[in-house]
Amino acid sequence: MARYFVWTIGCQMNKAESQRIAGYLDSAGYQAATSFSDADLAVLNTCVVRQSAENKVLGTLGLLQGLKNEHPNLQILVTGCLVNSNTQELKRRFPHVDLLFKPGNYPELIAWGQKQGMPIEQKLLRYPFAALRASTPCNDAQMPSSLCALIPVIQGCDNFCSYCIVPYRRGREVSRPLEEIVCEVEELARQGIKEVTLLGQNVDSYGHDLPGHPDLADLLNELNSIDDLVRIRFLTNHPKDISLKLIDAVASLNKVCEHLELPVQAGDDDILKAMRRGYTVERYRELVHTIRRKIPQLSLSTDIIVGFPGETEEQFERSLSLVKDMRFDVVHVAAYSPRPGTVAWREYQDNIPVEIKKERLNKIEELQAAVASEINSQLQGRQVEVLVEGRKKEKWFGRTRSNKLVFFEDAGDWLGQLAIIQIEKTSPWSLRGEVKK
């Protein structure tokens, strides 16, 4: 039986797309391999959001060139944000690649498969998003478990933040019809999926391009009534677009978890302006205040970029102060990486030395570790509800509604169950405890 291996790097959207590609290959009769070297078909799902990710992609493409020289029958497919409309140039640079297809373009993948004589389920021709498989064997240990599914609801981004390559690679926003998503989640819940995470580069834009303009709150309302589904999450929000209606939906719908990913990117107004983010620091602070008033148990994650062109020490200190004041549960921090074709790449010089960027990144990470340690320590001795996703090193693990990772030991079978865990030990990254029921 032919075997495939999917290599994934990057955001949740890439992971979701890898799940779907694996689902399609399973349905075509392929079997999952554990590495490139025992695969007949290699799929590279790429990210070019930062140069460091792009370098890993290029390194892996080089490795595959070597493998193909040894095994000429190896077929190589490439998707993700490396692939844009300029596929001709990519084909010239990487002649060993058999198919380049734009992120989420499953019809192109399926058409290629048909040319290779792969059998195809009729349902996939009508509805390529159904090519979903619950868990993907993959290089990435962070892939969601077989009980949690990632569901893209809107593709692309219309925002054009000055540093970001995503709109150039994933194109303009296109929402999936609400009924199609509800049907898919109903089907997944019937198959045993307990939790879904709805994905979009900017989920707040969901539905603006659909007839009748349903929004994300409308979609959450529909999904909340699916019987076997236990939890619903979504990401990523944009501070300039998140609506009060959505916040009220999170506050009132019992299956929607009290967790938001609300990237701020910088703590200084001039930097935010140069980033073209469309809000001020004051507006962000007020917004978080409002959300916390409506959702007191809110857990909040953010993204910050350090070393944006021209970022002075004082401007960086404002990002630090913001992290200190806002008490985020999680901060994803990245050093600015110039991306060819973006506005920031065209208009600003990448003039912050690498050492300073690293220093600033470390300062934010250290501060955040202290903040998270303090927030999590408040859970010591408390009982939390955990959806148990699997086992790692003899321990069960799962997440709280607030997205905190919890480990516990127990001889019973907890997979897919909601367990009440009394927290005994905390760290900035995870919690440990004992089953109460």
Nearer to ligand SF4, 146 or 201 (CB): 201
- Residues in the chain, overall count: 437
- The structure tokens 């209606």 sit at 245
Instruction: Out of 164, 256, 291, 372, point to the residue binding ligand SAM (CB under 6 A).
Output: 164
Decide which of ligand SAM, ligand SF4, none touches 50; Cβ closer than 5 to 8 Å per partner kind: ligand SAM
Q: 204: which 2 tokens?
A: 């707040």
Report which DSSP code applies to 177: P
Q: Are 49 and 165 in contact (CB under 8 A)?
A: yes
Nearer to ligand SAM, 200 or 398 (CB): 200
Smallest distance, Å, CB 413 to ligand SAM? 37
Report which DSSP code applies to 217: H
Instruction: Out of 23, 80, 167, 214, point to the residue binding ligand SF4 (CB under 6 A).
Output: 167
305 contacts ligand SF4 (rule: CB under 6 A): no
Compute the distance between CA of residue 409 and CA of residue 391 in angstroms, rounded to an integer.
9
Instruction: Out of 15, 194, 233, 238, point to the residue binding ligand SAM (CB under 6 A).
Output: 238
Q: Which residues pair with 64 in a beta bridge?
A: none
Max intra-chain CA distance, the chain: 61
Subset of 180-239 contacting ligand SF4 (CB under 6 A): 201-202, 238
DSSP-assigned states of every residue in 52-95? HHHHHHHHHHHHHHHHHHH-TT-EEEEEETT--S-HHHHHHH-T
Radius of gyration of the chain (CA): 22
Single out the segment in contact with ligand SAM by CB under 6 A; choices: 18-26, 114-122, 283-291, 331-339: 331-339
Q: Which of 169, 158, 161 is nearest to 203 (CA)?
A: 158
Subset of 100-159 contacting ligand SF4 (CB under 6 A): 157, 159
Instruction: Out of 79, 201, 299, 368, point to the residue binding ligand SAM (CB under 6 A).
Output: 201
Under the rule (CB under 6 A), what is the footprint of ligand SAM? Answer: 11, 49-50, 163-164, 166, 201-202, 236, 238, 263, 265, 303, 305, 334, 336-337, 339
Under the rule (CB under 6 A), what is the footprint of ligand SF4? Answer: 157, 159-161, 164, 166-167, 201-202, 238
